[in-house]
């Protein structure tokens, strides 16, 4: 009754890869999706496959809720990824290469260069590339080099000039040349016309390898890439200095166990065997590709070519009417709650709140959690300025935010130097909630302003992800946020919250209670409804509760962008559950939950997905939406429009596959484009108009052929 988590993650990546196949998208937008899918697969191996391989090495045989053992999972992953790699090759070779060529953009093969082009790139090689290269021999006196995670390299088989290898003998001497990451992967090639022609850096190096090995002949060469285990191994209870411990782990991580070898399709079997042996990998760990390795680098094509017809139409996030033409945010927020829907609504008010608070003489204190800090963060700079201005500033910086550890550490040090009280949260827990508290003197008293978000305090990702921001000055919410910060920064025991629901101190229990309440209503013959929009649904206990609610007659609609382990449409188990995923220009990232029929629904925003890690190993927050207008907007627009999307939505089938959603007759709906249009239609000086678009009655999901117990 459960879909395997790892296979569901691969299915999500397949949906992203499907966007690279969408012929209605501009060329560079398709290249961008190909790049995202490639980067996602890297992280999947660095974290998920690495974890399974550790289980295999430790002899773990326990199965997951879906019934697959680590061995079975690894075999299924290998099969799925090989098919995905073949699809990468097909999309690149048969679709994107001809498409780019038709627009005058071409990646040239080395043997396609004419004499003038070869001379030009040879000069570039000698002047700009050759000095940065370090050839590394591999022999008894030179052990195989330790190659950094995801580094691109050339493996070179060499023979001394004039000597031929005897028939049946093994490969000649082996050497490795690392492709420098400090140089652009795309080397411009003079084309003599309006075309933009490039040579990949590894192909340029491969053309002139002989100059790196005088006295030897290059018998064979192939590009390859190694993916390593990238998880941190930190014992927080034994660490006297958590920051120093994590910094040491970051240095060690680049030397983690190899988990995947990517190799050019042209590489010989003998070379593959030699690399596998040196890296401690098996044949199952090798993935050959016709497309260039590290496809994520190809987004640089769009950075060099600014033709608007080749990219997605640019957009400027809108500023909601209540926040326009006001000298200060505080009077606006004091009048009532404000909801922003990013990226359609600008992220600027979130940044402005911190910047204004930093300079406002009436602001006494600012407290904020920071999970993924932007490399050039105006928010972090504003917190530093606030501390320098004499305010009490506390920043909880999560040092264990995967892939952002080094950047967060750098910002933590910089803020500490300016007087910010930087803390790292509770031992054993990641602080994943996104909350800000501003304490301001007003008249004879104090008023507190709160921001709660579903996404990070990162202006860059706020233009790429769909997220929600709630501003409120409600006293009960502010009391809870104050208590939460006291718990995170001090020794306070977990308080009893008035409005917030906080993990790991009862979030899962509250969600379970809400699901069961709807099930009880359905059993009594009352209207019952559950709507949920999250990134991932994995927790087996909550899935079972949803199954029970479905059997009781509750209508359940789930918008799950990524991993979904729930299997809808099982006869006698989940006929009343519909699961859809939207894959479009922006990464769906908001978390909204609604329990109850529209006239009495309780609606919540949260930082949490429905996964065991969010309920047990992270500090998360769920907040009820009390403003009736905002509650309707979330129900009718954010959730309702998502459920009506029949252009970029796919529906999860009982067998774990996804099928496009198509509506018979009537206008089609592409929810992200509707939100973009609405954001720019709002007139200055007026409240944004909320059009109530009721979520349609769901069509019965397909049933599985075999009744399930």
Q: pLDDT band for 212, please (50, 70, 90 cuts).
A: very high
Q: pLDDT band for 421, please (50, 70, 90 cuts).
A: very high
Q: What is the mean pLDDT of residues 453-466?
A: 94
| Separation of alpha carbons 412 and 434, rounded Å | 17
Q: pLDDT band for 242, please (50, 70, 90 cuts).
A: low
Q: What is the mean pLDDT of residues 96-123?
A: 95
27-43 vs 5-20: helix axis angle to the nearest 10?
A: 160
In the chain, the percentage of residues whose pLDDT exceeds 70 is 91
Q: What is the mean pLDDT of residues 127-156?
A: 93
Torsion, Cα of 110, 114, 120, 121 (10° steps)? 0
Summary mean pLDDT of the chain = 90
pLDDT for 268:
95
pLDDT for 513:
98
Which sign, positive or negative, has the C-alpha torsion 569, 574, 577, 580? Answer: negative
| Separation of alpha carbons 172 and 644, rounded Å | 62
Mean pLDDT lowest among 64-68, 174-178, 538-542: 64-68
pLDDT for 705:
39
Q: What is the mean pLDDT of residues 192-206?
A: 91
pLDDT for 503:
96
- The residues annotated as belonging to the active site are 432
All structural domains of the chain, each given as residue ranges with its CATH number in brackets, are 1-103 (1.20.58.310), 112-235+260-290 (3.30.1840.10), 321-499 (3.30.870.10), 506-681 (3.30.870.10)
What is the greatest pairwise CA distance in the chain?
94
pLDDT for 142:
87
Q: pLDDT band for 172, please (50, 70, 90 cuts).
A: low
DSSP 226-269: EEE-------GGG-SSHHHHHHHHHHHHTTPPEEEEEEETT--H
pLDDT for 557:
98
pLDDT for 140:
83
pLDDT in tens, 560-584: 999 999 999 999 999 999 999 999 9
| Separation of alpha carbons 509 and 502, rounded Å | 10
pLDDT for 251:
61
Do 437 and 367 meet the contact criterion of CB atoms below 8 Å apart? yes
* Cβ-count burial 584-614 (b if 16+ within 10 Å, e if not): bbbbbbbbbbbbbebeebebbbbbbbbbebb
Look at residue 130 and tell me whether its pLDDT is greater than 90. yes
Q: Are strands 338-342 and 135-138 parallel, antiparallel or unpaired?
A: unpaired
Look at residue 402 and tell me whether its pLDDT is greater than 80. no
Question: CA 82 → CA 65, 261, 262, 263, 582, distances in Å?
Answer: 25, 13, 11, 13, 25
Q: What is the mean pLDDT of residues 241-270?
A: 78
Look at residue 248 and tell me whether its pLDDT is greater than 70. no
Look at residue 495 and tell me whether its pLDDT is greater than 90. no
Count of H-run helices and E-run strands, the chain:
21, 27
Torsion, Cα of 501, 393, 405, 609 (10° steps)? 10
In the chain, the percentage of residues whose pLDDT exceeds 90 is 77
pLDDT for 254:
61
Task: Give percent helix, percent strand, percent coil of the chain, each to the nearest 5.
Answer: 40, 25, 40
- Collect all residues with Cβ–Cβ distance below 8 Å to 489 and sequence separation of at least 6: 367, 394, 396, 421, 423
Preceding peptide of 504 cis, ω within 30°: yes
Structure tokens at 106: 């071409």
Mean pLDDT lowest among 204-213, 217-226, 492-501, 632-641: 492-501
Q: Where are the alpha helices (DSSP H) in 389-535?
A: 405-417, 475-489, 507-523
Look at residue 681 and tell me whether its pLDDT is greater than 90. no
Look at residue 685 and tell me whether its pLDDT is greater than 50. no
Look at residue 171 and tell me whether its pLDDT is greater than 70. no
Structural Rg of the chain based on CA atoms: 28
Look at residue 425 and tell me whether its pLDDT is greater than 50. yes
- Number of Cβ within 10 Å of residue 334's Cβ equals 13
pLDDT for 6:
96
Q: pLDDT band for 700, please (50, 70, 90 cuts).
A: very low
Question: If we measure between CA atoms, which residue out of 439, 447, 446 comes closest to residue 485?
Answer: 439
564 DSSP assignment:
B
Q: Within 13 A of 256's CA, how many CA atoms are on the CB side? A: 25
| Separation of alpha carbons 261 and 283, rounded Å | 9
pLDDT for 167:
34
Instruction: Scan for tokens 């993990």, then name that residue.
Output: 503
| Separation of alpha carbons 530 and 550, rounded Å | 10
Q: pLDDT band for 611, please (50, 70, 90 cuts).
A: very high
DSSP 154-202: EEEEEEETT-PPPTT----EEEEEEPPTTS-SEEEE--SSS-EEEEEHH
Q: pLDDT band for 232, please (50, 70, 90 cuts).
A: low
Q: What is the mean pLDDT of residues 414-425?
A: 92
Angle at 625 between CA 621 and CA 630, to 5 degrees: 135
pLDDT for 173:
87
Q: What is the mean pLDDT of residues 360-380?
A: 94
Look at residue 249 and tell me whether its pLDDT is greater than 70. no
Question: If we measure between CA atoms, which residue out of 690, 698, 608 comes closest to residue 649?
Answer: 698
């Amino acid at each position: 009754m459960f879909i395997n988590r790892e296979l569901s993650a691969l299915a999500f990546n397949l949906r992203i890869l499907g966007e690279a196949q969408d012929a209605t998208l501009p060329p560079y937008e398709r290249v961008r999706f190909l790049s995202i899918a490639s980067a996602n697969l890297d992280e999947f191996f660095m974290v998920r496959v690495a974890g399974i391989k550790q289980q295999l090495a430790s002899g773990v045989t326990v199965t997951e809720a879906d019934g697959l053992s680590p061995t079975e999972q690894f075999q299924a992953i290998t099969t799925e990824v090989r098919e995905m790699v073949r699809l990468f090759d097909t999309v690149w070779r048969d679709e994107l290469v001809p498409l780019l060529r038709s627009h005058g953009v071409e990646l040239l093969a080395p043997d396609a260069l004419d004499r003038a082009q070869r001379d030009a790139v040879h000069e570039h090689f000698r002047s700009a590339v050759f000095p940065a290269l370090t050839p590394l021999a591999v022999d008894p006196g030179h052990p195989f080099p330790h190659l950094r995670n995801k580094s691109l390299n050339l493996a070179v088989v060499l023979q001394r000039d004039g000597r031929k290898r005897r028939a049946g003998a093994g490969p000649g001497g082996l050497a490795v040349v690392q492709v420098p990451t400090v140089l652009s992967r795309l080397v411009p090639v003079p084309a003599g016309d309006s075309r933009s022609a490039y040579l990949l850096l590894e192909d340029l190096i491969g053309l002139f390898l002989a100059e790196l090995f005088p006295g030897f002949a290059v018998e064979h060469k192939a590009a390859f890439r190694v993916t390593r285990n990238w998880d941190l191994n930190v014992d927080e209870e034994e660490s006297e200095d958590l920051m120093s411990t994590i910094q040491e782990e970051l240095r060690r991580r680049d030397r983690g166990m190899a988990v995947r070898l990517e190799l050019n399709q042209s590489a010989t079997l003998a070379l593959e065997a030699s690399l596998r042996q040196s890296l401690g990998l098996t044949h199952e760990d090798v993935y050959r590709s016709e497309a260039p390795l590290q496809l994520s680098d190809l987004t640089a094509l769009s950075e060099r070519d600014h033709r608007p017809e080749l990219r997605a139409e640019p957009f400027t996030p809108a500023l909601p009417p209540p926040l326009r033409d006001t000298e200060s945010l505080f009077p606006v927020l004091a009048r009532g709650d404000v909801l922003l829907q990013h990226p359609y609504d600008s992220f600027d008010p979130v940044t402005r709140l911190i910047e204004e608070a930093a300079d406002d003489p009436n602001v006494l204190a600012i407290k904020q959690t920071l999970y993924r800090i932007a490399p050039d963060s105006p928010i972090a700079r504003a917190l530093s300025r606030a501390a320098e201005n004499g305010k009490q500033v506390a920043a909880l910086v999560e040092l264990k935010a995967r892939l952002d550890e080094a950047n967060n550490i750098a910002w933590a040090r910089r803020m500490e130097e300016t007087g910010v009280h930087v803390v790292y949260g509770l031992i054993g827990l990641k602080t994943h909630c996104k909350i800000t508290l501003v304490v301001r003197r007003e008249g004879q008293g104090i008023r507190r302003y709160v921001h709660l978000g579903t996404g990070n305090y990162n202006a860059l990702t706020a233009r790429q992800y769909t997220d929600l921001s709630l501003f409120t000055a409600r006293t009960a919410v502010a009391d809870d946020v104050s208590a939460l910060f006291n718990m995170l920064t001090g020794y306070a025991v977990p308080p009893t919250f008035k409005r917030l629901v906080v993990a790991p101190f009862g979030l899962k229990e509250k969600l379970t209670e809400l699901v069961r309440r709807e099930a009880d209503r359905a059993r009594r013959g009352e209207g019952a409804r559950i709507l949920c929009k999250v990134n991932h649904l994995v927790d087996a206990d909550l899935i079972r509760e949803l199954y029970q609610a479905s059997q009781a007659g509750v209508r359940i609609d789930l918008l799950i962008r990524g991993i979904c382990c729930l299997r809808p449409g099982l006869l006698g188990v989940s006929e009343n559950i519909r699961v859809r995923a939207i894959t479009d220009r922006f990464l769906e990232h908001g978390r909204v939950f609604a329990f109850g029929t529209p006239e009495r629904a309780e609606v919540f925003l949260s930082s949490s997905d429905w996964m065991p890690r969010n309920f047990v190993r992270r500090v998360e927050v769920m907040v009820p939406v009390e403003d009736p207008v905002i509650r309707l907007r979330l129900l009718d627009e954010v959730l309702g429009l998502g459920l009506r999307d029949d252009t970029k939505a796919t529906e999860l089938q009982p067998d774990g596959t996804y099928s496009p959603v198509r509506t018979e007759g009537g206008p089609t709906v592409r929810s992200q484009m509707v939100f973009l249009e609405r954001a720019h239609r709002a007139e200055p000086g007026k409240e944004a108009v909320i059009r109530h678009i009721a979520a349609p009655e769901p069509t019965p999901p397909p049933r599985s052929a075999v009744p399930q117990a």
